[in-house]
Amino acid sequence: CIIVEYKGHKILNTVDCTQPNGGQLPINVDLMMSDFAGGASGFPMTFSGGKYTENWKQDFIKNERKKLLNYKAQLVKSLKPKIYCPFAGYFVEAHPSDSYIKDTNVKNCAEDLNALISKKDDSITTWTPKPGAVLDLGLTLRDPSDRKAITDAPPGAQIMKNSWKFDQYVNELNAAIDEEIFKHEGWVQFYYNWAGFKDYNLVVQVIETDDDFNPILNGYNYFVDFRDLSFPRERPKDCPFEEIKNRVGVVRYVVRHGLLWDNLYIGFQNRLSRDPDVYHHRFWNHFQTELPLTGPDWDRFLQEVHDGKPDAQTTGSNGCNVS
């Protein structure tokens, strides 16, 4: 949550904040800005098994978007900003391999939120930003009815981009597939030792896949038992379990550079199932926010391979299976 004072104007930006400052926020700011769309995480689109049928997902998404719309409108009404602008949420799952997410992940639109706010409190000026549109904050604050204060977008202005150069991004990700470290299955143990998460009652199976989430030939398929950070060859019984299928280029890029797992989960790059259907906050919070700031020392890992240390070898008992 960001509060900006600029030229005598107070601007409140609450993007990506849930109950910031315990809900204690300044009232009557000159301009409040926020997200509006919903759908930024992988839940529930990337989940399968159990209750996660297509009908259940559609009903859940519809209800959640409605709840978000009402929450945002009520928050704006309670804070009474002079001007409100919903600006964060203009994204599209554009790659052809993400067409299922694009079709399933229905989002709110800014115009609907502004209409709901105006219905609740017509004293609040609302503005929907579009390419080419301009809001003069000073003029609007002095006289909201001044037609010169807001310049509308030109007729037919394109809101969302409709062409992309996917290759420049995908090629960078896929370059990680052939990194030397992945020729030695010891990378798995080295990586999770670096990540530093253990003493938690959960077993995770990680499966490398193609773009359609089918296991790939010579891809890694392994178990991690976070109770003692071991790597069994089979799923242990009587332990909470989560299966995570990751697109191989993205997951290897994340591992190679020590990136947070938001790149997988929020990027819609995996598919998940869990037994029982429980959200493991400690696990996800660690891999999404608490990984070490310095990435894995892969040079040291390769040196250990060269020196013949057992944990770094291509074969061994660390629980890795190659599909």
Q: Average pLDDT of 218-244?
A: 97
Domain assignment present for residue 160? The answer is no
Distance (Å, whole) CA 99 – CA 40: 15
Q: Summarize pLDDT for 109-161 with one digit per residue, the tens.
A: 999 999 999 999 999 999 999 999 999 999 999 998 898 899 999 998 999 98
**Using the 8-state DSSP alphabet, how is residue 46 labeled?**
T
Domain boundary among 127, 151, 175: 151
Least confident of 11-25, 55-69, 212-226, 284-298: 11-25
What is the pLDDT, as a whole number, of residue 319? Answer: 55
Whether residues 13 and 139 share a domain: the answer is yes
Whether residues 232 and 133 share a domain: the answer is no
What is the pLDDT, as a whole number, of residue 20? Answer: 78
Domain assignment present for residue 83? The answer is yes
Contact 88, 35 (CB under 8 A): yes
Domain assignment present for residue 116? The answer is yes
- 323, pLDDT greater than 80: no
Whether residues 113 and 193 share a domain: the answer is no
Structure pTM?
Answer: 0.89
Q: Summarize pLDDT for 80-96 with one digit per residue, the tens.
A: 999 999 999 999 999 99
User: Per the structure, how many domains does the chain have?
Assistant: 2
Whether residues 201 and 278 share a domain: the answer is yes
- Buried-state track 91-112, b at ≥16 Cβ within 10 A, e below 16: eebeeebbeebeebbebbbbee
Whether residues 256 and 146 share a domain: the answer is no
Domain boundary among 103, 123, 151: 151
What is the pLDDT, as a whole number, of residue 244? Answer: 99
Whether residues 171 and 117 share a domain: the answer is no
Which run of H or E residues covers position 61? Answer: helix 54-79
Q: Average pLDDT of 26-44?
A: 95
Average pLDDT value over all residues in the chain:
94
Whether residues 133 and 253 share a domain: the answer is no
Whether residues 238 and 194 share a domain: the answer is yes
Q: Average pLDDT of 306-316?
A: 66
Q: Average pLDDT of 216-244?
A: 97
Domain assignment present for residue 159? The answer is no
Domain assignment present for residue 97? The answer is yes
Whether residues 247 and 134 share a domain: the answer is no
Domain assignment present for residue 53? The answer is yes
Whether residues 241 and 284 share a domain: the answer is yes
Q: Average pLDDT of 247-272?
A: 97
- Single-letter amino acid, residue 155: P
Contact 277, 288 (CB under 8 A): no
Whether residues 140 and 204 share a domain: the answer is no
Domain assignment present for residue 67? The answer is yes
Per the omega criterion (within 30 degrees of 0), is the bond before 20 cis? no
Residue 147's domain comprises 2-151
Distance of CA 320 to the CA centre of its chain: 28
What is the pLDDT, as a whole number, of residue 316? Answer: 38
- Single-letter amino acid, residue 303: Q
Q: Average pLDDT of 247-267?
A: 97
Domain assignment present for residue 142? The answer is yes
- 291, pLDDT greater than 50: yes
Phi, psi of 140 (to 5 degrees): -65, -40
Residue 17's pLDDT band (cuts 50, 70, 90): confident
Nearest Cα to Cα of residue 63 among 83, 31, 39, 84: 39
